[in-house]
Structures are given as C-alpha cells and as structure tokens.
Amino acid sequence: MDTRHSLINVAGLSFLLVDPNPHSCAIIHGILRGFGATRVVEARTADDAINVLIDQKIDMMMVEPKLEDGKGLAFIRSIRQDPNNPIRTIPILVVTGDTRTSIIKGARDCGANMVIAKPTSPAVLYERLTWVALHPRSFAETGTYFGPDRRFKIEELPDGTGKRGVDKDVTVATDEGRAMSQKEVDSPLHVTRVGGPG
Amino acid sequence: MSVKADGSYREIKVDDKFGQHVRSPTRLSRDAAIKRAEAELRLIQPRIEDYVKLESKSLEAALMAARQKDECYVTNIRNTYVASQNIRDVADSIGYSLIGFIATSLCTIIEATDAAAIECPAAIFDCYYQALRLALTRKYVKKSLKELPELSAGLLQTVHIVKGLAVRAADAKTSVAKQS
C-alpha cells in the first residue's frame, strides 16, 4: 500500500496516549491534532490509563513501555488477555525510544499492533496510522497469546517501496540486542508466515 | 467479528471503529495532514526547546559526576541515562538533531555497558560532555548531522568502541563460566 496519496479521517476518534513524559506526549498529541484528531487523552501511568478506559470510550491507544516499574507492556497484555474486556481488540501502538530487540519482541508478544520509534515525525506517524487502519489484521488466540496475528505477509511497506529483502530473514534476538531504526523496528512485526499459529 | 477455531488456535477477524472511521469520507490528504501536524509542532516547539535545554544541563552535570567514578557511580550513570532518554525521545522532533544524536549514542553506550556489567571509560564521558557543550552553542544547536560528518562519525566510533568492550567482557565471562 502506498500511503503517499492516501486520505484519513481521525476527527471524532478518541486517542489515549500513555506516557510518563509530558513533553514526549505533547509531541504526539500535537501531531494527532494536526491530523484532525479532536479528542486526545493523556495518562502518565498504567493506573491512570485504566481509569480513563473505565470512564471513557477510546478508539486507539499509544503506549510507552517504560511506564513506572516497566508496566507498559504488562498493561497492554492485561487488556489483550482479558476475554471480558470490550476493548480487547483495540489498536495499540507501542511508542518507544528504546528500540532494543528485547523491547520490540516484548511489544509484539504482548499484543501490540505496531511499534513506533521515538523521536517520531508527522510522516512516520501518519504512515503507521494509515497502515493499521487500512490493513486490519486478524487476531490470533492461542493458549498463551491474544493479539494481532504475528504472522502476516507484507506485500508492500507503508512508504510504498515494496517488500524489502530483509523481511523474510528477521529473527528476533533473545538478548537485549542493539537499538534499531524505525525501518528495522517494523521488521519483527512484519515477519512472514513461516511457523506455526500465533 | 468472525471466529475461525482450530483446536487451541482461534482466528478472529476484526474491523474496529478505528479502521472504519479512518477510511470514512471527509478525509484529510497525507500532505495536508503532515503540513498541519508540522504547524502544530511549531506551536509547542518553544516549550520542548526549553525542556531539551533543561535536560541537557542535567545531562552535563550527570556526565561530569559520572566521570569521577566514585561511590555514586551507579546513581550518576542512572541520572545520565534518564537525562539521555528524555532528550533522545524528543530532540529530533524539534530539529535538535545533534543533541538527539548525542543522547541516543549515550543511551546505547550505557545499555551496552550495563548489559555487560562493565564500567564505561571516563574518556567517553569527557568526550560526550565536550560534544554536548558544543551542541548547545547557538552555532551548533540546530545543525544537522550531515553538516557535521566528522563529529557524528567520531561519536559513532565511541559507540563501536564501547560495544566492543562490552562484547569482549561478555565473552570473557562466558569462557570463565565454561572453565569453572
């Protein structure tokens, strides 16, 4: 999918940004406002975010994994794993400056739809939002995982450049690993169908 | 929502409100959306600039303290890491590329030394302290990395050196563990 000529409508949608850093939040908030979002709620902690979700209807979440005590990914997992949660399948983007492979793998395995590397830009955020909206992925449920199907074939990248040579070769390291660029961050979340379910 | 079950595996087709709404009529083009977002960022730029400058001062102090390698080393490294992370996450979004690069490189260095449980050489802290002071000057604060190839290459080299130290330390630990 080439997003260069795409159109989106985010006015009327409710976004929840969960990030302990108000300045980092302000940047994403500003970008979303520029895209036409009229309702963006901020939460600094996982507990604050839970309270927002109880009180308000949210259509998309962006979560920094490094909430207090590293609760960010656990927070996402708690939403995905609760079969009674009405927003169990809400799109969740992980937004992080820490792009070590362990973090990216953790984001994928807790059920995030996508990872966005900080610092982000309007162009990157636009492409990722468009990607999530125009490529709805099936959710997979196994004994240990509930979230967007981690095995999906990528036909074309959001920037319209087509599939990269590295897409099939991605393996997610088991150790902390090196930091990755946004393009590399996308790869572990774009693995092609090679293994078993989930 | 449709469900396809296969033993312990279920596949659930989801097309949520977010997707439906984003695809609905009255949409904004990519170029218009990005232009408007950039305008919004310009509005908050002074506030973010103040924050980056404040965090940079904290980072300077933390780097000076960390190079002492005294009993507060762990705290000083933590302070260096926190300030670096804070800068890394926002600096590039407002055009402070060099400061963002310095912070990103420092984060990588601290993560590597932390994972290998080694101390970072004091010369590295000196190097980053000097680079940060330079980056904060009016002449350099808004410069892009392309305009400063030698400086960015030098900083990258320090990352490679420290990563090499970390790998060697990890290898040495592994061989000691195997021998025992």
pLDDT per residue as tens digits for the range A92-132: 999 999 988 888 999 999 999 999 999 999 999 999 998 88
- Indicate yes or no: CB of B10 within 8 angstroms of CB of A33: no
Within a domain: B31: no
Which pLDDT value is given to residue A112?
95
Q: Tell whether the model's pLDDT for residue A197 goes beyond 90.
A: no
Q: Work out how many domains chain B is built from and give that number.
A: 1
Give me the tens of pLDDT residue by residue for chain B, a chain 180 residues long: 556 666 678 888 888 888 888 877 667 788 999 999 999 999 999 999 999 999 999 999 999 999 888 888 899 999 999 999 999 999 999 999 999 999 999 999 999 999 999 999 999 999 999 999 999 999 999 999 999 999 999 999 999 999 999 999 988 888 888 887
* Chain A closest-CA separation from residue B107 CA (Å): 9
* Chain A closest-CA separation from residue B2 CA (Å): 9
Confidence of residue A135 (pLDDT cuts 50, 70, 90): confident
Within a domain: B174: yes
For chain B, helix (H) and strand (E) counts, in that order, are: 6, 3
Within a domain: B107: yes
Q: Look up the ipTM and state it.
A: 0.86
User: The domain containing residue B174 runs over which residues?
Assistant: 45-179
Question: What is the rounded distance in angstroms from the CA atom of residue A46 to the CA atom of residue A52?
Answer: 10
- Indicate yes or no: CB of A136 within 8 angstroms of CB of B16: yes
Nearest CA in chain A to B81: A98
Residue among A19, A27, A104, A149 with most chain B CBs within 10 A, to mutate: A27
Dihedral sign for Cα A198, B5, B7, B8, please.
positive
Confidence of residue A53 (pLDDT cuts 50, 70, 90): very high
Please determine, looking at this structure, whether the domain spanning A3-190 carries the CATH number 3.40.718.10.
Answer: no
- Indicate yes or no: CB of A7 within 8 angstroms of CB of B44: no
Which pLDDT value is given to residue B57?
96
Within a domain: B19: no
List A residues 146-175 in contact with B (Cβ-Cβ < 8 A): 149, 175
Within a domain: B127: yes
Q: Report yes or no on whether pTM surpasses 0.90.
A: no
* CATH number of residue B162's parent domain: 1.20.120
Is A123 touching B (CB cutoff 8 A)? yes
Within a domain: B153: yes
**Would you list the domain boundaries of chain A?**
3-190
- Single out the residue of A185, A31, A174 nearest to residue A112, CA to CA: A185
Question: What is the rounded distance in angstroms from the CA atom of residue A144 to the CA atom of residue A142?
Answer: 5
- Indicate yes or no: CB of A26 within 8 angstroms of CB of B9: no
